[in-house]
Amino acid sequence: MLQSCIRKVTQQLVQSTFKPSYLKSCNRLTVLEQTWHKIPTAYTLRNMADDVTSGLDDTQVKLLAEECLLVDDNDKVIGSSSKKECHLMTNIEKGMLHRAFSVFLFNSNNELLLQQRADAKITFPGYWANTCCSHPLNVPSETEEEDAMGVKRAAQRKLKHELGIEPEQVPLEDFHYITRVHYQAPCDNPIWGEHEIDYVLFLKKDVTVKPEPNEVQNYVYYNPQQVKELLQRAKSNTEKVSPWFALIAENMLDSWWEKLKNLDTIKNHDRVTRLK
């Protein structure tokens, strides 16, 4: 990859430095000798070759600068790092783990709001997922631990950002913190992946949805049977479903769905469930 980058830069420098008539009159060695001092160092080229954000959506790349919360296996905050660093598989394979959340919003018909992630997304573009999935940031309002209040504020913020759901329609007191799950999954693009302790938040509200196209390309309301059919299509490779949603849906969602009227009976804040 580095050699290819060197060849490309050399060719561009030669073409921009010399007129075509001069190039025809000189041998290759003369041209290279006069060009070589303009070629960046190997260190610079290596950085260029390793730029994992090259060619990605500009808006999504800017979001990679957000500071996520690093946690240990028991969800204790141990620091922070950029969204980019948290989602690089090279770091995940070394154990980097961050805090996240997954919102499950049900309407008055007990149907679950699902979103299809935009193709511009860096991780799992085009995949179906639960209502909203993201991260609390390393800011005071989203690091408050009591009753997962920081996570709830982050969820309210992202529901507005991704789906255009106004905060007034999803007040913080209506979020139900159910439990936490720990999972790891690589993306189709092996550079990127997920390794999260994911707070599961339930919400029962009728809301107005106005998706941000850079985040969400489609949305639906599904009943339990339709979710099962979606998961089945994913297994037959006719649909794509995010790994966190698939793991939660296959292991927990059915029993939770049955108890929407009594969510306190399914809450478990004492331990983190490991899903594989």
- List the catalytic residues: 133, 196
The torsion of the CA quartet 215, 234, 185, 183, rounded to 10 degrees, works out to: 100
The rounded distance, in Å, linking the Cα atoms of 165 and 231 is: 26
Query: Side chain identity at 250, as an amino acid letter?
Result: E
176-186 and 272-274 beta bridge pairing: parallel
- Distances, alpha carbon 129 to alpha carbons 23, 115, 132, 204, in Å: 56, 6, 7, 17
What's the token pair of residue 91? 């770091």
The rounded distance, in Å, linking the Cα atoms of 69 and 77 is: 6
The rounded distance, in Å, linking the Cα atoms of 131 and 160 is: 12
What's the token pair of residue 246? 């698939």
> DSSP state, 249?
I
The torsion of the CA quartet 269, 267, 194, 114, rounded to 10 degrees, works out to: -160
The rounded distance, in Å, linking the Cα atoms of 187 and 182 is: 17
